[in-house]
Structure 1
Amino acid sequence: MARWILRMLGWKLEFDGFPTLQGVAIVYPHTSNWDFPIGILAKWGLGIPAKFWAKDSLFKFPVFGAWLRWVGGLPIDRSSPKGVVGDMVEVFEQYKRSGRLLWLGLAPEGTRSLTPGWRSGFYQVALKANVPLVLVKFDWRRRTFSLVDFYQLTGRVDEDYAHMAAVFEGAEGFRIQQMSPVQPWTGNAFSVQSVSLKDNS
């Protein structure tokens, strides 16, 4: 059904499978509220049981919170000294030990608005958990949702971002003027180090 809806909307999915059971999927660019429903349809259409971070407050509404968990949402708050990165690394270790599939899908900008660059959460999680990235092009001009590249971070920030920038070149968001550049941004107001992950799954 999800694939049929996307086809009717003019969207095409491109995916050849995951190389490992665990990893971090970064979906770029994220510029509009419309990205969420299309992204969820793409997730269902591809049959990917991916998780994603969402604000803790969104889960306090009984019906909406239950639905958000059902579609893959993981609530975050500001209660853990380890932060969401440390908690998420532990979750990945648990899934590795049990041999279960876990892919965390994130918008690296962390917001729909224009920012000076990308937040560091995805990078820290993938590097510390030693899991690969999958780079996902969310291209509104071509109407394609493509898992185009798998990449193991080196820890050399400039080199890693140069690779990602080359892969994402040409992708266009729903609002082009709100596309954040593919570069690290350390001066963000929302630090992923200061929040905690609540995984009750």
Structure 2
Amino acid sequence: MRFLRGPARFMLKLLGWKLIDLPQRPAKAVVIAYPHTSNWDFPVTLLALAALPYGAQWVAKDTLFRGPLGPVMRALGGVAVNRRERTGFVERVAEEFRRRDNFHLIIATEGTRRLQAGWKSGFYRIAMAAGVPVIMAVVDYGKREVGLLSTIALTGDEAADMARIAACYEGRTGYHPENASPIRLL
């Protein structure tokens, strides 16, 4: 995928996007993507992944993996999750983190592009169970920036951890800012 780095960087620049990255990434991390308010987040994120280059995998609802798109989604790094019922996803992913030397999994914390009362807690539970840090990622349409903002180690104090995450996302806007959910766990 390294051969895509140059073309992806060129395309982002042509589209007016600034690519941001961390000085150093941890070997393993849960990467949270916020705000997620538009279908445009996906292609911009794929360009950023190629431009960095960043071999992260990402989570999406299982219905996107059905039919002929399934193999394409998996080849792009997609991991299907059934959001309609409990399947042990958190435990399976935590185990995957323990088995691998390098693993980054991107999760859209809101779980949808529509306004919600807060964030789904799966990312938090996975990071705590696996003992890995959280990287904050953004597609910021206001500043036209895409990439990785910061890394934090969760403490287990949900209120304090969420306050630190909220501070990192302060002033960041999605394509439809009115659909960005409040930064708090449901």
Calculate the TM-score normalised by the size of structure 2. Answer: 0.91
Go from structure 1 to structure 2 and tell me whether the alpha carbon gap of 1:55 and 1:137 turns closer, same or farther (over 3 Å shift). Answer: closer
Partners of 2:146 and 2:180 in 1: CA distance: 16
Alignment map for 1:17-32 (pairs within 5 Å): 17-32=23-38
- SS of the residue corresponding to residue 30 of structure 1 reads coil
SS of equivalent residue, structure 2 residue 94: helix
Q: How far did residue 83 of structure 1 move?
A: 1.3
**In the alignment, what sits opposite 1:168?**
169
RMSD across aligned positions (CA): 1.7
Aligned length: 180
Q: Which residue of 2 aligns with 1:3?
A: 9
Kindly indicate whether the alpha-carbon contact (under 8 Å) linking 2:18 and 2:144 is maintained by their aligned counterparts in 1. Answer: yes
Instruction: Find the counterpart in structure 1 of residue 121 from structure 2.
Output: 120
Aligned partner of 1:70 in structure 2 is 75
Give, as a single letter, the amino acid of the residue that structure 1 aligns with 2:98. E
One-letter amino acid matched to 1:46: L
TM-score (norm 1): 0.84
Q: Structure 1, residues 17-54: CA drift from partner, whole Å, max 9, x if none?
A: 54421111111111001111101111111111111112
SS of the equivalent of 1:13 reads strand
Match of 1:194 in 2: none
Does the 8 Å contact 2:136/2:151 carry over to 1? yes
Whole-angstrom CA distance in 1 between matches of 2:128 and 2:24: 18
Report the alpha carbon displacement of residue 75 of structure 1 after superposing the two structures with TM: 1.7
Mapped to 2, the partners of 1:172 and 1:78 lie a distance apart of: 26
Contact 2:139 / 2:174 at 8 angstroms: preserved in 1? yes
Q: Does 1:46 align with 2:47?
A: no
For the residues of structure 1 that align with 2:51 and 2:116, how far apart are their CA atoms? 30
Structure 2 stretches of 5 or more lacking a match?
1-6
| Local SS of the residue matching 1:106 | strand
Counterpart AA for 1:117: G
2:104 and 2:36 map into 1 onto residues whose CA distance is 18
Q: CA deviation at 1:117?
A: 0.7
**Aligned partners of 2:86, 2:34: CA distance in 1, in Å?**
29
- Residues 79 and 87 from structure 1, CA distance in 2 versus in 1: closer, same or farther, beyond 3 angstroms? farther
Alignment correspondent of 1:13:
19
SS in 2 for 1:24: strand
| Pair 1:34–1:86, CA change in 2 (3 A) | same
Identity %: 39
| Counterpart amino acid of residue 9 in structure 2 | R
Which of 31, 34, 41 matches 1:35? 41
Task: Give the Cα separation in 1 of the matches to 2:83 and 2:75.
Answer: 23
SS at match of 1:57: helix
Query: Which structure 1 residue ranges, 5 or more long, are not aligned?
Result: 186-201
Paired residue for 1:192? none
Is 1:86 the equivalent of 2:86? no
